[in-house]
Amino acid sequence: MFIDKNGVVRMPKAYLAGTEIFFTDSDETQERYHQLCDKYGIIGYYPPDIAPEDEFKEYVKKDDSLHEMELQLFTHDLNQIKRTDIIIANLNDYRGNEPDSGTAVECGIAWGYGHRCFAFIDDARPMKERFKGVKKVREDGTVTDKDGANLEDFDSPLNLMFCEFTIFEGGLEEALKGIRKIFNEELVAAGYEPFEVK
């Protein structure tokens, strides 16, 4: 339960953005993530979940080109975001020192649609400290990567464009715990019963 933008108390729907879908154990992750969300009183939308109203018919491909396939999948993910109230993004580094670009785009879309925005990351220390690549220090003290590009220095583990995200250290469960706490505080403050995690 949570209080939505219109003041209605109901189950929140969460878009679970991340790189989990790329891995061979994605099906197991999908099931585990759904169970975890249930436990914390949140309805989880894993990206490949098929909503009854979708079944990939919300975008009908013109032909079998790569771009049409991309547009169909993009539209599917976009509609999953539109169906949800909040986003919980896995913003761990992916194949290097940046988060997955698809996840980052989804974060921008969700923020643009007015979602409550949350993320999780294994190491939530400021980027300057957590950066795994080779670090250099310029004469003026600026910390850079090996190519001389500045590391963000805004007391955040991520690029400042994620500054409106509430970031939890850990995995999905740590994020869900934190989100549940925030939602329960809001419920109690408005005179409702908190959701009890079993």
- When the beta carbons of 3 and 144 are compared against another protein, the nearer one is 144
Q: Does 100 bind another protein (CB under 8 A)?
A: yes
| Cα distance between residue 164 and residue 152, in whole Å | 16
C-alpha to C-alpha distances, 122 to 44, 160, 177, 196, nearest whole angstrom: 20, 18, 15, 26
- When the beta carbons of 152 and 174 are compared against another protein, the nearer one is 152
Member of 3, 11, 43, 105 binding another protein (CB under 8 A): 105
Member of 27, 28, 31, 98 binding another protein (CB under 8 A): 98
DSSP state letters, 152-185: P-SSSSS-GGGTTSEEEESSHHHHHHHHHHHHHH
Residue pair 158/91 in contact (Cβ under 8 Å)? The answer is yes
Q: Does 107 bind another protein (CB under 8 A)?
A: yes
- Taking phi first (over 0 means left), then psi (-120 to 50 degrees means alpha), and beta for anything else, what does residue 147 get? alpha
Whole-number minimum distance, CB 110 to another protein, in Å?
Answer: 8
- When the beta carbons of 164 and 193 are compared against another protein, the nearer one is 164
Whole-number minimum distance, CB 73 to another protein, in Å?
Answer: 5
Residue of 90, 56, 89 whose CA lies nearest to 71: 56
Site for another protein in 108-137 (CB under 8 A): 108-113, 133
- When the beta carbons of 42 and 77 are compared against another protein, the nearer one is 77
Site stretch for another protein (CB under 8 A), options 4-12, 102-110, 170-178, 183-191:
102-110
Residue pair 136/144 in contact (Cβ under 8 Å)? The answer is yes
The residue with tokens 């990567």 is 145
DSSP classification of residue 71: H
Member of 158, 172, 175, 179 binding another protein (CB under 8 A): 158
In terms of C-beta density within 10 A (0-12 exposed, 13-18 middle, 19 or more buried), how is residue 169 classed?
A: middle
The residue with tokens 């294994």 is 122
Member of 51, 161, 188, 197 binding another protein (CB under 8 A): 161
Q: Does 104 bind another protein (CB under 8 A)?
A: yes
Residues that bind another protein (CB under 8 A): 19, 22-24, 66-67, 69-71, 73-75, 77, 91, 93-113, 133, 138, 144-145, 148-151, 153-156, 158-164
